[in-house]
Amino acid sequence: MASADFTARAAGPSGPGAGLRYRRTRRSTGEQVIKVLLAVAAVLSVVTTTGIVISLLNETISFFGEVGFAEFFFGTDWNPLRRGAQQSFGVLPLIWSTVYLTLIGLLIAIPLGLASAIYLSEYASPRVRRLVKPTLEVLAGIPTIVLGYFALTYVTPVVLRDLLGVEVRIFNGLSAGIVLGILVLPTIASVAEDALSAVPQSLREGAFGLGATQRQVVLRVVFPAALSGIVAALVLGASRAIGETVVILIAAGADPNLTLDLGVSHQTMAAFIAQTARGDISQGGTEFQTIFAVGTTLFVITLLVNAVAIRLVRRFRQVYD
Amino acid sequence: MTEPSEARHSDGRNEEWAREAADVSTPAAVIAEPAGRETIFDVDNVSVYYSDKRAVRDVRIKLARNEITALIGPSGCGKSTFIRCLNRMNDLIPTARVTGAIGYHGQDLYASDVDPVQVRKRIGMVFQKPNPFPKSIYDNIAFGPRVMGVKGDMDEIVETALRRGALWDEVKDRLKTNAFGMSGGQQQRLCIARSLATSPDVLLMDEPCSALDPISTGRIEDLMMELKEDYSIVIVTHNMQQAARVSDMTAFFTVELDGDTGHRTGAVVEYDQTDKIFQNPSDKRTEDYVTGKVG
């Protein structure tokens, strides 16, 4: 027998202790191949990401060779595509509109999303849940271009002007913000519902067993126990809203404005990039590099939001066995 | 539950025993009147259904005040289903339905105007697996009093409950730490103390020691003996020695197997003084179970 040979040659133990050592077999070769393939996949994704970041930074550094840091980050006038004295590179209006419209969206999506998550997880009958949960997930899959035109052709003229009688321009931040809320609502509701449903039934029983009402069980036990997942849901929603491009581009127009007024046009960072990248600007010029500078800024902001999110999620994470 | 008894359900001996059990004598014959003791639960002809399947049938027993009543029997005999009727926990399962009547101090627990929330405030429950909330030890104990809107010195309420739960000395220096950092036995005593904090009248315990080691189990049994001075306790247990050690009265449940559908229904075979159940049972099936011949 081969194994007996092997152990004998290696002067290993005989008897019951024999045959425990590593042997080179077809199985171990297969394991090696799989290990290498998986490692290649992992390296590839890291390399791709790094490549994207480097190309972003490259153009961004060139941009800052032309335009001062202070002018970019503290300037309140954004007119990079004009010529001569009217050209200005203050990015604040873009950052402001990005944050502002995201907040408007979250203002709508968070209460509605959490309320529907709580309803589905704690109050709805299994039949209603079976019906509504997939509907929510379908809603999350509506192409944003459809939502963009919904904002422009329905929300602005019908809902805002006719129904509510709000004075708004045809391109305005309000309808974009509202539709941004509709856009992230299913994401928040669905992820938060998953988090609530994952809370062990034994905790609910424990609370009911102490004479708590349904409302007390939800608010004092289930919701806090699911906090980590709920924070994750909110951040996921916020990230989507910050990066959303098409809805803003269509509904909020292309006029950067540093203002609290939602009735006028707003331009966000992502919308600016999309708007400008399709226009006829020459590659290599400062105008062209502007895209990358704004892209890097957007990237850093999203990165910060995610970093904060990860910390929050860790902090509230509760492991149930 | 992966107990040996579960695995043995399929062997021939057990099937035969289950068939035999199908003709459970009229439960009326096995009612033990708690003579001269105050009745706390008067269970009259209670059956529990999940959807249209009957899980327990025709339970008729009377439970006495300041005593420990043990519910024993093989897996699937409906002990846990039954104990959850006593504080209307089964209301939380949409498909569950209870028929018959449960008198609690003369009040029908299932009367249409009875609020299950109020019922559970008087009749506390401890579960099979320790289920502390992911909060501090202090907040776990304070939960019940807070939802009841108790005004008063919460620190004192918490200390009293923890002392009654025989946990105070172990945790008094870390009341603000998360309860998940405690050992399993401590967590279960925390859950008992948590129930006591609302000053209930009855404590229902559904296999409270099944997830614990023998030392923790011993501590909880000691605790139960102390608590019965002030509370009435109903305990479901798989551990017959435990029932014999702690309880005053014991009800033996069995499983009836429907030959046609294979559906199992639980029923009470015998209910009597614990000593009698374990030393001189009236029913052959009880004897077979407590002597370890089946189950």
Give the minimum alpha-carbon distance from B5 to chain A in angstroms, rounded to a whole number.
24
Domain spans, chain B: 37-290
Q: Which residues of A are less than 8 Å from B147 in CB distance?
A: 207, 210-213, 216, 220
Give the C-alpha separation, A319 to A71, whole Å: 48
Written in H, E and C, the secondary structure of B226-246 is: HHCCCCEEEEECCCHHHHHHH
Which residues, listed in sequence order, are joined to residue B103 by a DSSP beta bridge?
Answer: B42, B108
Q: Which residues of A are less than 8 Å from B131 in CB distance?
A: 200, 202-203, 205-206
pTM of the model: 0.80
At residue B70, the pLDDT reads 94
Give the C-alpha separation, B9 to A52, whole Å: 63
At residue A75, the pLDDT reads 86
Q: Which residues of A are less than 8 Å from B149 in CB distance?
A: none
Q: Per-residue confidence of chain A (321 residues) as pLDDT tens digits?
A: 444 454 445 555 677 777 777 776 777 788 889 999 999 999 999 999 999 999 999 999 999 988 888 889 988 888 888 877 788 888 999 999 999 999 999 999 999 999 999 999 999 988 999 999 899 888 888 999 999 999 999 998 888 888 998 888 989 999 999 999 999 999 999 999 999 999 999 999 999 999 999 999 999 999 999 998 999 999 989 999 998 989 999 999 888 888 888 889 999 999 999 888 877 777 778 888 899 999 999 999 999 988 988 888 888 876 665
- The arrangement of secondary structure in A91-316, i.e. its CATH architecture, is Orthogonal Bundle (1.10)
Q: Which residues of A are less than 8 Å from B120 in CB distance?
A: 208-211
At residue B24, the pLDDT reads 47
At residue B35, the pLDDT reads 59
At residue A2, the pLDDT reads 46
Give the C-alpha separation, A216 to A321, whole Å: 24
* A221 Cβ under 8 Å from any chain B Cβ: yes
Amino acid (one-letter) located at A49: T
Give the C-alpha separation, A181 to A196, whole Å: 21
Q: How many helices (H) and strands (E) does chain A have?
A: 14, 2
At residue A58, the pLDDT reads 92
Best B147, B196, B205 residue to mutate vs chain A (most A CBs within 10 Å): B147
Both tokens of A189, joined, read 């509701």
Best B51, B117, B194, B199 residue to mutate vs chain A (most A CBs within 10 Å): B117
Residue of A nearest to B118 (CA): A211
Q: What is the DSSP letter of A153?
A: I
Q: Per-residue confidence of chain B (295 residues) as pLDDT tens digits?
A: 344 443 434 444 444 444 444 444 444 444 555 556 788 899 998 999 998 888 998 999 999 889 999 999 888 888 999 999 999 999 888 889 999 999 999 889 998 899 999 999 999 999 999 999 999 999 999 999 999 888 889 999 999 999 888 889 999 999 999 999 998 889 999 999 999 998 899 999 999 988 888 888 888 899 899 888 889 999 999 888 899 999 999 999 998 887 777 788 898 989 999 999 999 888 889 988 888 877 5
Question: Which of A103, A151, A185, A163 has its CA nearest to residue A265?
Answer: A151
- Going from the C-alpha of B81 to that of each of A110, A134, B179, the distances in angstroms are 39, 33, 28
Give the C-alpha separation, B250 to A175, whole Å: 69
> What angle in degrees, to the nearest 10, is found between the helix axes of A92-118 and A286-316?
30
Q: Which of residues 17-56 of B touch A (CB under 8 A)?
A: none
Give the minimum alpha-carbon distance from A128 to chain B in angstroms, rounded to a whole number.
14
**Do B89 and A224 lie within an 8 Å CB cutoff?**
no
Distance of CA B54 to the CA centre of its chain: 20
Q: Which residues of A are less than 8 Å from B125 in CB distance?
A: 205, 209
In terms of C-beta distances under 8 Å and separation of at least 24 residues, what long-range contacts does B12-21 make, across chains too?
B13/B294, B14/B294, B14/B295, B15/B257, B17/B285, B17/B288, B17/B294, B18/B255, B18/B256, B18/B257, B18/B264, B19/B257, B19/B259, B20/B285, B21/B254, B21/B255, B21/B256, B21/B257, B21/B267, B21/B269, B21/B285
Q: What is the DSSP letter of A279?
A: S
Which residues, listed in sequence order, are joined to residue B253 by a DSSP beta bridge?
Answer: B268
Which residues, listed in sequence order, are joined to residue B43 by a DSSP beta bridge?
Answer: B61, B102
Both tokens of A137, joined, read 């997930």
Both tokens of A33, joined, read 């191949």
* A207 Cβ under 8 Å from any chain B Cβ: yes
Q: Which residues of B are less than 8 Å from A224 in CB distance?
A: 134-135
10 Å CB burial of residue B151 (0-12, 13-18, 19+) is exposed
**Do A220 and B117 lie within an 8 Å CB cutoff?**
no
Give the C-alpha separation, A209 to A203, whole Å: 10
Sequential DSSP letters for B15-47? HHHHHHGGGPPPGGGGPPP-TTS-EEEEEEEEE
**Do B147 and A213 lie within an 8 Å CB cutoff?**
yes
b or e along B159-197 (b: 16 or more beta carbons within 10 Å of the residue's beta carbon)? bbbbebbbbbeebeeebeebbeebeebbbbbbbbbbbbb
Domain B37-290 has CATH 3.90.550.10: no
Note the pLDDT tens digit of each residue in A174-191.
999 999 999 999 999 999
Minimum-distance CB partner of B198 among A202, A210, A319: A210
At residue B251, the pLDDT reads 93
Give the C-alpha separation, A105 to A185, whole Å: 9
If one counts every other C-beta atom within 10 angstroms of the C-beta of residue B82, the result is 27
* B145 Cβ under 8 Å from any chain A Cβ: no
**Do B94 and A206 lie within an 8 Å CB cutoff?**
no
Minimum-distance CB partner of A209 among B124, B129, B134: B124
Spell out the residues 6+ positions from residue A320 whose beta carbon is closer than 8 angstroms to its own: A199, A200, B134
At residue B38, the pLDDT reads 85
Q: Is there a contact between A294 and A269 (Cβ–Cβ < 8 Å)?
A: yes
**Do B131 and A208 lie within an 8 Å CB cutoff?**
no
Give the C-alpha separation, B107 to B99, whole Å: 16
Residue of B nearest to A225 (CA): B134
